[in-house]
Amino acid sequence: MLYFSGFALQNESELFDFWLPQTQYCVVGFSYGAIKAVEYLLETHKRVDRLLLLSPAYFNNKSEAFKKMQLLYYKKDPYKYRENFLKNISFGSEISLTKYLGPLPPLDDLKELLYYNWSGNKLKTLQKRGILIEVILGGKDKIIDANAAREFFQDYVLTYYIKDANHILKVITETTNSLDS
């Protein structure tokens, strides 16, 4: 299996052990890594049977103003941006992503992530090569609009939607405080 990491992360694939197939003919990408995985497959002619996209960084539905604001915040303080980004990735869980921090990514990586054009034609090209494409989305994702991503991807590929999961596909359990009487 070939794995592509998310923005500002490295070696986080263990977070997804449940989803990861144990085959050498699979390519997996998480978030920003989903973009990298698709582009890799469009360029290579190696045998691949399955492409698994975990919470793909889907921003096709976001406005130009939103994208420019993200870039502005990153330019202003990339460390603070990354810190906030990591909190949103693991929203609603106790998982610390500190051990998965990679080097601070260049601004161009964030730009590529925000402006990447997910297109049905790219996905169809891969499918014509016999690659099974699957997408897994979390309904409580604080990074992407999972509903918009689901609307797009379900028209082209097998799409799983975990209603109560966050960006790292961990189910968020709401706890309620109860008083003993």
Instruction: Encode 154-174 in three state secondary structure.
Output: CCCCEEEEECCECCCCCECCC
pLDDT digits (tens, 9 = 90+) for 17-67: 999 988 899 999 999 999 999 999 999 999 999 999 999 999 999 999 999
Q: 3: which strand partners?
A: 28
Q: What pLDDT, on a 0 to 100 scale, did the predictor assign at position 21?
A: 87
Q: How confident is the model at residue 177 (pLDDT cuts 50, 70, 90)?
A: very low
CA 148 and chain centroid, separation: 14
Determine the angle formed by the axes of helices 107-115 and 64-76, rounding to 10 degrees.
170
Mean pLDDT of the 93-108 span: 95
SS3 at position 143: coil
For residue 176, is pLDDT > 90? no
The closest alpha carbon to 153, from 108, 119, 103, 177, belongs to 119
| Structure-block tokens of residue 15 | 């977070």
The closest alpha carbon to 34, from 113, 139, 145, 106, belongs to 113
For residue 180, is pLDDT > 60? no
| Structure-block tokens of residue 92 | 């609603």
For residue 53, give every residue at least 6 positions away whose Cβ sits within 8 Å of its Cβ, in sequence order, or none.
28, 29, 34, 37, 38, 133, 134, 135, 136, 153
Q: What pLDDT, on a 0 to 100 scale, did the predictor assign at position 173?
A: 78
Domain 2-162 sits in CATH 3.40.50.1820: yes
pTM of the model: 0.93
For residue 174, is pLDDT > 80? no
Average pLDDT, the chain: 94
Q: What pLDDT, on a 0 to 100 scale, did the predictor assign at position 130?
A: 97
* 166 residue type, one letter: N
